[in-house]
Amino acid sequence: MGVNILWDRQAPEGIELPVIRMIARILEREPELIDYPFLIEGYDRCRNQHDAQSILDRLQDTFTRRYPISGPLLLVTSRDLYVDGCDFVFGLARPTCDVAVVSTARLGNEYYGRTPDDADLIDRTAKEGAHELGHLLGLGHCSNPECVMFQPRTLDELDRKKKTLCPACRKALRAREEN
Ligand SMILES: [Zn+2]
Ligand SMILES: [Zn+2]
C-alpha cells in the first residue's frame, strides 16, 4: 500500500525530498508527494496554536473526498499543534480514517534557541512523519526508546530515537503488508 504526503505551502521548503527518502527507508514504502491546495483550520488565538483534531477533521471530511487519494495521508505543516489536554503535540494520527498530521514548529533547533541545522530538521521531521504514518499502517506505540514508534515528550527523547523501527515493529509492519 502506498502512502501519501501533503506538504503545507508554509512548511519548510527544500527538505521535502530528503524527508521522503528517509521515511521510505524507515517504513519500506515509497511515499508519494502530492500537491493540492489545503486550508489549515483550527487556529486558537489565545494559544497561538492550531487544534490538530480540526486539521484532521478537514483532511478527512473535505480533502480525501474531493481529491483522488488512496491510502494513508500525512500532512506536514509548520503550524504549532495542540490537542485538548496537551500543551502541544509533535503530530497526531487518526488511523480509522487514514489521516495524520505532523508539525515542524518544534522540530527546528531555532525553537530551542540553538543554531539552525537542516540535517536535524530533516531527521526529526522524517522520524515523526514516519511515526504518524506508522500509526496509519497499524502500528501502536512502542516502549523501546530508540524505536520510531516510541512516543517522545521532549526534543531530547525525539533525538534519542533512531531512524528505524525496532525489530518487533518492523516485523509487525511486514506482517500487515502481507495480509
Ligand atoms: Zn504516536
Ligand atoms: Zn518498536
pLDDT tens, 112-166? 999 999 999 999 999 999 999 999 999 999 999 999 999 999 999 999 999 999 9
> Which spans in the chain are helix H?
16-27, 52-58, 64-66, 118-136, 155-160, 167-178
What spacing in Å lies between the alpha carbon of 135 and ligand 1's midpoint?
7
Say whether pLDDT at 179 is over 70: no
What spacing in Å lies between the alpha carbon of 176 and ligand 2's midpoint?
15
CA distances to 25, 66, 104, 106 from 170, in Å: 11, 33, 25, 27
Q: How many CB atoms lie within 10 A of CB 143?
A: 10
Is 132 annotated as catalytic? yes
What spacing in Å lies between the alpha carbon of 85 and ligand 1's midpoint?
16
Say whether pLDDT at 32 is over 90: yes
What is the per-residue pLDDT across 51-80, written as a single tens digit (0 to 9) for each?
999 999 999 988 778 888 889 999 999 999
Q: Which of these is catalytic: 28, 30, 32, 132?
A: 132
3-178 maps to CATH 3.30.1490.20: no
**Does residue 158 contact residue 149 with C-beta atoms inside 8 Å?**
no
